[in-house]
C-alpha cells in the first residue's frame, strides 16, 4: 500500500487501533473515538474509513441503516509486516544489527536477557 511494503501510514494505524480494540464499530462510534483519541473531525474519520474500506483493510456492512466497520487485518499480522519493513529498511534485514542497536542504547534487563536466551535455544532446537 505504501512505500516498500509498508502496510499502514501512521494516521491509518490510529484508526486501525480503534477498530482492533472495539471489534465491530459504527461510524458514529469511530468518529467519537477518534475525536477523543486524536482530535480528528467527523469528516476526517469518515474519509479515512471510506479510504481504508476501498483498500480492503476494513470491512463495512449496513445493519439497520447504520454502517458497521471491522478490521480485515489482524493486529499481529500488521505488526509483523511493519516490523519486517522496518528491519529491511533500517537494518538491511539484519536482526542481529537491530538487536545490537537496541540493546547498546537501552540495555536489557535480566528478564529480557533470559527471554532472549530462551528464544535462541528454541530456535537452535528447531533446526
Query: pLDDT tens per residue, the chain (127 residues)?
Result: 443 456 899 999 999 999 999 999 999 999 999 999 999 999 999 999 999 999 999 999 999 999 999 999 999 999 999 989 988 988 998 888 888 888 887 788 889 889 988 988 998 998 8
Q: How many CA atoms lie within 13 A of 126 on its CB side?
A: 6
Q: Are 96 and 43 part of one and the same domain?
A: no
Alpha helices in the chain (DSSP H): 10-22, 27-38, 42-55, 75-91, 95-106, 110-126
Number of structural domains found in the chain = 2
Map grid coordinates 483519541 to a residue: 37
84 and 65 assigned to the same domain: no
Q: What domain range is 40 assigned to?
A: 3-71
Sheet order of strands, 58-63 included: 25-26, 66-71, 58-63
Q: Are residues 48 and 82 in the same domain?
A: no
Amino acid at each position: 500500500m505504501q512505500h516498500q511494503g509498508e502496510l499502514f501510514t501512521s494516521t491509518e494505524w490510529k484508526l486501525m487501533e480503534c477498530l482492533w480494540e472495539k471489534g465491530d464499530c459504527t461510524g458514529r462510534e469511530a468518529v467519537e473515538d477518534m475525536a477523543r483519541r486524536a482530535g480528528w473531525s467527523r469528516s476526517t474519520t469518515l474519509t479515512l474509513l471510506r479510504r481504508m474500506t476501498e483498500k480492503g483493510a476494513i470491512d463495512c456492512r449496513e445493519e439497520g441503516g447504520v454502517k458497521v466497520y471491522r478490521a480485515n487485518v489482524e493486529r499481529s499480522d500488521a505488526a509483523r509486516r511493519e516490523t519486517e519493513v522496518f528491519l529491511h529498511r533500517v537494518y538491511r534485514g539484519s536482526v542481529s544489527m537491530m538487536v545490537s542497536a537496541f540493546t547498546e542504547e537501552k540495555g536489557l534487563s535480566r528478564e529480557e536477557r533470559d527471554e532472549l536466551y530462551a528464544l535462541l535455544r528454541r530456535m537452535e532446537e528447531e533446526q
